Amino acid sequence: MEPMTDPVRTIADRVRTRVLRDGVDLAADGTAAARYAHEEIRRYSERALAGAHAQLGDEASAAREVLASITGYGPLQPYFDDPTVEEIWINGPLRVFVARDGVAELTTVVLSDREVRELVERMLQHSGRRVDLSSPFVDASLPDGSRLHVAIPDVTRAHWAVNIRKFHRGIRSLGQLVELDSITRQAAEFLRMSVLAGANILVSGATHTGKTTMLNALMSGARVDDRVVTVEETFELDLDVRDLVSMQCRQPSLEGTGEITLRRLIKEALRMRPDRLVVGEVREAESLDLLIALNSGLPGMCTIHANSARDALVKLCTLPLLAGRNIDSAFVVPTVASCIDLVVHLGIDRDGARRVVEIVAPTGSTTDAAVEAETLFARLGGDLVATGARPPRTAKFLAAGLDPEVVLAGEAA
């Protein structure tokens, strides 16, 4: 895919000038961009016939390129429109990649450094966030829910590094994950019962293993009248919940003021009388605020990067120590052991298939400053099977009038 030709760039610039001059809101008027584009293409072609410009080869193709430049994302727009593309990233103007089914491929897109910057600026317009020398990283949501991350020189070597994780609305329930062979029906039913019981669930896995998708699927099993509050770095969750409040962090202003951190959001969420708290991901000291919330009896879920379910528990015992010197493992480890009911660990294989690898249940006890846990489901020979172990703590199930034995009594490994 070639970069924009000079005629197309000229026409696009003229359309932008007219839009600004006329004060037209392209988002509000869905036909305005196409109308302006066709008018400017006609004017350009008339001048080209008089010898003032190089002629356009294909006016219809030029119109599509102009529209993609004005209202879309230029040469990247076809990949935004392609439902099979999950992720798009730019390592440099000549290195534009996409991922389909978890497998990366180098595209034929050729950009210039200027085009990359213009694309990023257009993507950031909606969020109000910025990237510059004083703030060389940015994390933002696009209007369609896709997540954008950018890093610029001199943090990167020479070119802007851009990553877009596209938002897909396809998977909204545990049943759909069963159909995709990501989880067995038995394990999915156990998780659904656990959500209904108000279990605190930690979803772990490496990058791009489907942790956010799993949160969405788990929350599809919540009670209809639950009031849910979500907090995230940038909006990614798309919960099908009737009573929902969603909040995201805010970057500091140019003066360094006005920042809203994840720690602040968790504290504010507790003032909104939630029935359930969902934290997109814990990375740092906000894990302490989450543990304090869960320790107060508030059901919650969150994700965490880890190599296994038990590594996730170890990490959750470590991150709160970043909150300050007055926090030590003598408080954190027992709190994790008593608060977290389940850890759902996800993985991705060489073919890009995302699957539940194991489901682990902490016992509530600790040994040598480590959280003890039972493995309820594990992958054996490629299949997710029940191990025969039972949840060590069943008080929440019983209080909700549920019996996990009904689900777990099937064939075990």
**Residue-wise DSSP of 339-379:** H--EEEEEEE-TT--EEEEEEEEEEEEEETTEEEEEEEEEE
Both structure tokens of 271? 């003032």
Per the structure block, which two tokens stand in for 186? Answer: 């038995």
According to DSSP, residue 320 is labeled: G
Q: Fill in the DSSP letter of residue 271.
A: G
Which tokens belong to 312? 């996730």
Mean pLDDT for 313-338 is 93
**299 plus 313 within the same structural domain:** yes
Helix H or strand E encompassing 122: helix 113-125
Which helix (H) or strand (E) segment holds residue 385: the answer is strand 383-386
Choose among 253, 234, 238: nearest CA to 163: 234
Q: Is residue 124 domain-shared with residue 181, that is, in the same domain?
A: no
Pairing outcome for strands 342-348 and 300-305: unpaired
Stretch 362-369: mean pLDDT, rounded?
A: 94
**pLDDT average, residue stretch 77-100:** 93
From the list 399, 354, 403, 346, the residue with the least C-alpha distance to 377 is 346
Shared domain for 159 and 180, answered yes or no, is no
Nearest to 229 by CA among 271, 199, 263, 190: 271
d(CA 309, CA 391): 15
Confidence class for position 101, pLDDT limits 50, 70, 90 = confident
Domain of 370, CATH number, reads: 3.40.50.300
Q: How many domains does the chain have?
A: 3
Per DSSP bridges, beta strands 103-106 and 95-100 are: antiparallel
Domain boundary at 149, 168, 187, which? Answer: 168
Per-residue pLDDT band for 2 (boundaries 50, 70, 90) equals: very low
Enumerate helices (H) and strands (E) in the chain, giving the number of each: 14, 15
Among 62-66, 110-114, 353-357, where is mean pLDDT lowest? Answer: 62-66
Q: Does residue 223 share a domain with residue 343?
A: yes
Question: What does the alpha-carbon distance between residue 94 and residue 111 come to, in Å, rounded to a whole number?
Answer: 6
pLDDT at 343 over 70: yes
Tokens of 171: 């998977």
Residue 137 and residue 202 in one domain: no
CA distance 87 to 3: 20
One domain, residues 285 and 368: yes
Same domain, 5 and 117: no
Which strand (E) or helix (H) includes residue 19? helix 6-22
Mean pLDDT value across residues 334-350 = 95
State residue 1's pLDDT score: 44
Q: How far is CA 184 from CA 214, 356, 406, in A?
A: 14, 9, 16
Amino acid 347: pLDDT: 96
Q: Domain residues for 40?
A: 1-71
Q: Find all residues with CB under 8 Å of 226, minimum gap 6, and list them.
A: 241, 243, 275, 276
Confidence of residue 413 (pLDDT cuts 50, 70, 90): very low
Give the residue from 22, 47, 71 where a domain finishes: 71
pTM for the model: 0.81
pLDDT of residue 160: 96
Same domain assignment for residues 86 and 101:
yes
Do 131 and 137 contact (CB within 8 A), yes or no? Answer: yes
Instruction: Return the CATH number at 148.
Output: 3.30.450.90
Closest-CA residue to 34 (of 56, 21, 15): 15
Given 112, 137, 168, which residue is the final one in a domain?
168
- Measured CA to CA, the distance from residue 30 to residue 26 in angstroms comes to 6
Residue bearing tokens 């877009």: 164
Distance CA(217)–CA(346), nearest Å, equals: 13
164 near 89, Cβ under 8 Å?
Answer: yes
101/191 same-domain check: no
200 and 341 part of one domain: yes
Q: Residue 367's pLDDT is what?
A: 93
HEC string of 199-213 equals CCEEEEECCCCCHHH
Q: Give yes or no: residues 275 and 193 share one domain.
A: yes
Q: By three-state DSSP, how is residue 289 classified?
A: helix
The tens digit of pLDDT for each residue in 262-293 reads 999 999 999 999 999 999 999 999 999 999 99
3-state secondary structure of 365: strand
Q: Let me know whether 79 and 222 are in one domain.
A: no
Buried residues in 73-111 as b, exposed as e (16+ CB within 10 A): bbbbbbbbeeeebbbbbbebbeebbbbeebeeeebebeb
